[in-house]
Structure 1
Amino acid sequence: MNSGAGQAPAVGVVVARTGRLARLGDPLAYAMELLAPKLRGRLRLVGRDSRSSAEGARRAVRELVEVERARIVVTLAGTEVLPAVADACEEAGVPCLSTTFPWQVYYHGGRRRRWTYHFCWGLDDIAETFADLWEAVGGTERTVGCLWNDGPQGTWSRHREHGFLPAARARGHRLVDPAGYREPAAALDEHVAAFREAGVDVVTSAATGADLGLFRREAARQGLRPRLITCSRWLAYPPAATAPAEQAPQADVGTLVYWTPAHPYRSSLDGMTAAELAEGYERSTGDQWLQPLGLAYALFEVAAHALATAGDPTAPKSVAAALGATRLQTVAGPLDWTSGPVPHIATVRLAGGQWQRGRRHPYELVVTDNRGVDGLPVGGELVPPGADQ
């Protein structure tokens, strides 16, 4: 067993390298590879594959804590994996830092948080951002159809106290929410019919790309032509390239913008700008930058800051206290755990945008509403669904 004696403090990284979340793990793996030599001597970055499953995530935490003697564990993961990492760290009594998961689901949906810290936007922030987009297509009171599943995504979106629903209604919008559907959806014709009957002119969703595509085909068949579709779930990924005659399901869909190369932020570790980080990622991987990249880099910024400012970086209580006291300017923006909406939470600022046909890439994320992020330029206007781009 590796005792870690005489070595720099270890930051454990739970990252999806295999399974369905492997693409989501790419930005975290890249940030880890890029920063490891820069932090050598100060920190050791050691990773384990979550295998895109809750059990794999728990196993990864055990190995990082017991074998690598990780002083803090960081992760960027999905609906089942991220809570599993946080819960395993709670059980082990090791500080954990995570992101890319609406904070209400993280905070209210799990066990008591003593060792685990998180930064992200909230479901209310999603509703406010989407309401800005809805209102941009005309009028302050829309009839909005909710394409929500019967799983965690839909359950928390419709939560009457902590969810998307109360924030959207507070803006004056009427939400039409048929029964949640089981993923993957076999048919969504009843949702389309309910939206038509209610006079829906805007649709909001947290659907997968496949289910969103199914909905759009059925809506076209029944003659439902919403003025705008917003979707929060697949916001990180560019629409898949399809045949020229077929439009990708995410194309022209309004979504959240939490990080782009145009964001006016720099890393606290090395001064790298958002633009430089995205450019390096594309040059190194050959792939288009992804929104989680900025937050992945910020995970290491905050972890390094906490270990550097902790009174005793070998004591879990000291590292946890340092996380809770962190106020830091990062490449993902300003993060502040001292004034979060609830303990152990820092929030990420959101803008509104849309996937549109691009010049450098088949589809590019265009900022259409920047009111939530100071200094972020607007890149274009909303394109109506189905419009020729």
Structure 2
Amino acid sequence: MNKKTHNIAHLNRRGFLKAGAASAAAVGLYSPAFAAERTIKIGMVMPQTGPLAFFSEHVDFVLGQVQKATGGQLTIDGRQYPFEILLRDSQSNPNRASEVAAQLILDEGVDLMIAAATPETTVPVSDMCELNGVPCVTNDTPLEPYFQARGGDPDVGFEWTNHFFFSGTQSAGTNLNMFGQIASDKMVGALWPNDGDGNAFAQSYPPLFDSLGYGLSDPGRFDMPLSSYAAAVSQFKADGVDLIYGVIPPPEFTTFWNEAAQQKFQPKLVYAGKTVQFPAAIEPFGARAEGLITEVWWAPSYPYASTMTGQSSQELADEYEAASGRQWSMPLAYRHSLFEVIFDGLKRVQDLDDPASIQAAFNETDMVSVVGPINFQTGPLPNTCMTPTAGGQWVKGDKFPLNLVICDNEFAPEVPVQGEVQPLTY
């Protein structure tokens, strides 16, 4: 890596100053009004480029919120400490995520790490922190892929890493609830690649589908990028598939959905994790995006507020849309909540120079964030927390091309249902 990319760009009260390459931007937050002998270093790894870049579109906005809310200072045990955030790009590649995490730990000496966005980011970063004894908090990866891909033992867990997000039980449950709201032949087509999510889905979901009376057409694991999904589409047509359950990023879904149209394959409902959560990823399909379904990790209608800014979920979405000109999407609140959780934990730290003290403070987390309650003692897996998850369907919008309507709330009863699922139209 070019040495320039390690330079730390400081933030003063007048705003952000960016330095270094975009793939390895380092951001320093501080307030020159208060001198301290100790600066807290926070490493942050996100897929800012590559097929998973949609997961990072809110990062700059959230960093601006952090600066505005804190002034670059945290109060710990009655004393104020400056902190800096060193942001690195995983480039949507797990090997790169591991590499930059190692650099943050070994070269930059970070005190703690945060990361998000699919197993391709959270797993290698968490593993690197576990190896080096660095406290780490992650989100935005279903609990099972996060835990299983790391070879986790449910009776033991991990020592240095904490994670919060929805579980496969919630995701499958709410999507199957939405499948059940329409008349179908209950034949599911699987698009499960050879990656952390896909392998976890292939291990966990077939018995669930079978127990609920769903048939399964599974073309098998595949490596991405895949130049054509024509063979999978042909198999789905031959097997009478009318429901799609996939987990593929936007470039892959584009290939699949276009080839489905070419072969006149017309399923009644389609779920494709890593894509359907992002309005910007599906808007290019026009009317063909209307009716796609997704689990809903967070939405403006969620009844939670931020401990960092005091904003309601609706106010957070409104501020983002006003500042960016773009529609809110689910990762916004999860990028925001990472800082809520680590700031909450840092306030309890007894000794900043002792990583075990930082980790102990994180383990004791018991708070309500903008995405819901966070308590790493509740599981269902060690050092994890399952957050509320609803189900929704994209419909034609007014302010933006698409609007997400909540259609199922079994796993988030506090979130109001706004409508019923309708089958796709062609």
- Say yes or no: TM over 0.5: yes
Instruction: Confirm or deny that 1:184 pairs with 2:215.
Output: no
Between the aligned residues of both structures, percent identity stands at: 28
Query: For 1:149, which of 193, 202, 211 is the aligned residue?
Result: 193
Matched, 1:293 2:332: yes
> Deviations 1:44-99 (Å, cap 9, x if unpaired)?
14122224244543454345445654322111234423222112212221100011
Q: Name 1:378's counterpart in structure 2.
A: 417
Question: Which amino acid is the alignment partner of residue 419 of structure 2?
Answer: G
2:129 matches 1:85:
no
Contact 1:127 1:165 in 2 (8 A): no
1:262 aligns with 2:293: no
8 Å Cα contact 1:49-1:56 kept in structure 2: no
User: Is 1:280–2:355 an aligned residue pair?
Assistant: no
Relative to structure 1, is the Cα distance of residues 349 and 359 closer, same or farther in structure 2, using a 3 angstrom cutoff?
same
Question: Partner residue of 1:103?
Answer: 143
1:205 and 2:246 aligned: yes
Q: Closer, same or farther in 2 for the Cα pair 1:204/1:79, shift >3 Å?
A: same
Q: 1:124, 1:167 within 8 Å by CA — same for their partners in 2?
A: no
Conserved? CA contact 2:243–2:268, under 8 Å = yes
Q: Which residue of 2 aligns with 1:35?
A: 66
Letter in 2 for 1:123: G
Shift of 1:19: 4.5
Indicate how the Cα distance of structure 1 residues 147 and 21 shifts in structure 2: closer, same or farther if over 3 A, else same.
closer
Return the alpha-carbon distance in structure 2 between the equivalents of residues 335 and 85 of structure 1. Answer: 21
Q: Report how far residue 275 of structure 1 moved.
A: 1.0
1:253 pairs with 258, 270, 292, which one? 292
Q: Deviations over 1:232-272 (max 9, x none)?
A: 221331144767xx537644211111111111101123321
Residues 41 and 222 (structure 1), Cα distance of their counterparts in 2 relative to 1, 3 Å cut: closer
> In the aligned structure 2, how far is the partner of 1:206 from the partner of 1:16?
17
Note closer, same or farther for the CA distance 1:128–1:283 as it changes in structure 2 (3 Å cut): same
**Normalised TM-score (structure 1):** 0.87
Look up the equivalent residue of 2:397 and give its one-letter code.
Answer: G
Residue 370 and residue 156 in structure 1: after superposition, are their counterparts in 2 closer, same or farther (change >3 A)? same
Kept in 1: contact 2:120–2:196 (CA 8 A) = no
Kept in 2, the 8 Å contact 1:120–1:346? The answer is yes
CA distance in 1, matches of 2:398, 2:126: 40
Structure 1 68/186 Cα, relative in aligned 2: closer, same or farther at 3 Å?
Answer: closer
Quickly say closer, same or farther: Cα 1:78–1:230, change in 2 above 3 A. closer
In the TM superposition, what whole-angstrom CA distance separates every residue of 1:335-373 from its partner, at most 9, and x where no partner exists? 121111111111122111122221111122221212321
Change in Cα spacing, 1:19 to 1:224, as seen in structure 2 (3 Å) is closer
Matched to 2:366, the amino acid is: R
Computed over aligned residues only, the root mean square deviation of the Cα atoms, in angstroms, reads: 2.7
- The change in CA–CA distance for 1:196 and 1:14 in structure 2 (over 3 A counts) is closer
Give the match for residue 119 of structure 1.
Answer: 164
Distance 1:183 1:308, change over 3 A: same
State the match for 1:236 in structure 2: 277
SS at match of 2:419: coil
Aligned position for 2:113 = 73
Shift of residue 215, structure 1, vs aligned partner: 3.4
Shift of 1:379: 2.9
What per-residue deviation string (whole Å, max 9, x for no partner) do you get for residues 194-246 of structure 1?
Answer: 33333322221113334434434444454543221122221331144767xx5
| Pair 215,386 (structure 1): closer, same or farther in 2 beyond 3 Å | farther
Structure 1 stretch 221-230 or stretch 249-258: which is displaced more? 221-230
CA gap 1:356/1:350 in 2 versus in 1, 3 angstroms: same
Q: Is the 8 Å Cα contact of residues 51 and 57 (structure 1) preserved in structure 2? A: yes
Distance verdict in 2 for CA 1:249–1:182, change over 3 Å: farther
Q: Is the 8 A contact 1:369 1:378 kept in 2?
A: yes
Work out the number of aligned pairs and report it: 380
Unaligned runs of 5+ residues in structure 1 are none
Unaligned runs of 5+ in 2: 1-6, 9-34, 75-81, 153-157
Label 1:61 to 1:188 Cα distance change in 2 as closer, same or farther (>3 A).
closer
Match of 2:407 among 352, 368, 389: 368
CA contact (8 A) 2:301 2:415 kept: yes
**Using the alignment, how far apart are the partners of 2:352 and 2:362 within structure 1?**
11
* Residues 339 and 79 (structure 1), Cα distance of their counterparts in 2 relative to 1, 3 Å cut: closer
Q: Distance in 2 between matches of 1:36 and 1:55?
A: 30
Q: Is the 8 A contact 1:239 1:251 kept in 2?
A: no
